[in-house]
Amino acid sequence: MAGRLIVISNRIPLEGPGSGGLVVALHEALTDRGGIWIGAQETDADTASEKFTRHEAPGYEKLTFELTAKDQEEYYLGFSNSVLWPLCHRRTDLIDFESRYADGYERVNRRLAHMLAEILEPEDRVWVHDYHFFPLACFLRELGVKNRVGYFLHIPFPNGSDLPALPHHETFIDWISSYDLIGLQTQRDVAVCLEFFRGHPKAELLLDGSAKYGSRTTQVRSFPIGIDVDVMLQAADARRADATLRLGDGERLIIGVDRLDYSKGLVNRLKAMESWLQHREPDEPRATLLQIAPPSREKVLAYREIRDEMELLTGKINGEYSEIDWTPVRYIHKPVERELLAALYRRADVGLVTSLADGMNLVAKEYVASQDPEDPGVLVLSNFAGAAEQMPDALIVNPYDVDEVGEAISQALRMPLDERKARYRELMRGVQEQDIRWWTRAYLDALARCPVNLATETEG
């Protein structure tokens, strides 16, 4: 199909192709098809430029739009991460709203829409990523843009009953119905999104699963994101964790890897570990939870609070259960380079994912991809992570029930090799079949096949 692919994401790797599954996949999709990758860049200036800045990239163009300190505070930390993030992760109690945040969010999205409309050619397809840009297509349509515009939401779709917590929530339907294709992580998200359309007096669901609002039709489908399996496997093969990590004789390893975010259920995880320690049988081996949780969004209060809570609880558990030669919780508040991470995943007998709400959770897939097929570890996975829909062979747990998670840890540590292998084979098959390249292909094929919406105006 003719026309360029235009990708919009808040973060853009400016040095080289970048690392991380999503970044590499977008890089490859753009290299194959040609096009433009647009992302944000901070500026010290008081006023953001109305023009994109061009960056060198082989095979396609990289453009950035500027964010001033005020934009950063209002659009990024404010509306995106203190309003939309908690809303989508079912934590309306943590919404911290100021009206300037909504203004900043609209300002940045409108500015970007204007800049984009200037450079779009008729056959271009636009692929917008994530909650930073919910209204972008709507603002583009207001400027008369008729191109196919697709959206992928990496985090859960907000519950319709929570949406009234969003200021000016009546406009949300205009925002999302301006896209031709809404891609979501899970079937569950698709159901929530369609339910939102169904509940709107002016919207209608069509038999093919799309939603009609005014004169526009929007396809809503799930495209579970995957990982680059080979990169993970090679990294896990390349390095052994033992040189870096010393454990006692016969001591087992449980691993958790997450940004320090309240949606990841880290406090529940520590409590589950505490429950396991409390109920541990005398013949059960010792195990250590290695929790790697790099800092994230520390300018937002809720993130500073979770950090304090983690430090307190780690201290409490270790104070109660440590022995001279054993510390049950090792908590590392730093990023770890990819190769070591893969080696640690492989070394770990148990991968522990206890999100309370999570779009997909790539760690679950990375853990499986890093395992030794002859001696694989066991994945314990929250029912609230999108990944649970595709990974029924993990030990699926309710992260709110810390005793249940504690029992799952115990079950995982005792699981016989045959059962571990059988579960691993099924999990790995899924991770390999629906990897990151499958995901970009599936999304872009669906966007190319979307019926074109000729009308561009939005329904008031």
Site stretch for ligand ADQ (CB under 6 A), options 101-109, 239-247, 354-362, 433-441: 354-362
Cα 303 from Cα 97, distance rounded (Å): 16
Judged by beta carbon, residue 48 or residue 155, the one nearer ligand ADQ is 155
Q: Which of 30, 113, 360, 380 binds ligand ADQ (CB under 6 A)?
A: 360
Candidates 10-18, 41-49, 251-259, 441-449: pick the segment binding ligand ADQ (CB under 6 A). 251-259
Task: Spot the catalytic one: 228, 261, 358, 393.
Answer: 358
Contact flags string 150-179 toward ligand ADQ, x per CB under 6 A: ----xx------------------------
Q: Which residue, 88 or 173, is less far from ligand ADQ as judged by CB?
A: 88
- Check binding of 336 to ligand ADQ (CB under 6 A): yes
Examine residue 362 and tell whether it contacts ligand ADQ (CB under 6 A).
yes
Comparing CB distances to ligand ADQ, the nearer of 149 and 293 is 293
Of residues 274-333, those binding ligand ADQ (CB under 6 A): 292, 294
335 binding ligand ADQ? (CB under 6 A): yes
Residue 356 touches ligand ADQ, criterion: CB under 6 A: no
Shortest CA distance to 350 belongs to which of 364, 332, 362?
A: 364
Rounded Cα gap, residues 352 and 397, in angstroms: 10
* Residue 228 among the catalytic residues: no
Is residue 80 near ligand ADQ by the rule CB under 6 A? no
Count Cβ atoms below 10 Å from residue 373 Cβ, excluding itself: 10
- DSSP β-bridge partners for residue 209: none
* Distance between CA atoms of residues 106 and 330, nearest Å: 42
Q: Catalytic site residue 129?
A: no
The phi and psi torsions of 107 (rounded to 5 degrees) equal -60, -50
322 contacts: CB under 8 Å, gap ≥ 6: 328
Question: Cβ–Cβ contacts within 10 Å for residue 454, how many?
Answer: 8
> Is 189:221 a contact under the CB 8 Å cutoff?
no
Indicate the residue among 231 and 273 with the shorter CB distance to ligand ADQ. 231
Nearer CB in complex with ligand ADQ: 336/442: 336
In the set 154, 174, 189, 228, the catalytic residue is 154
Positions that interact with ligand ADQ (CB under 6 A): 20, 22, 154-155, 225, 257-259, 292, 294, 335-336, 341, 358-363, 366
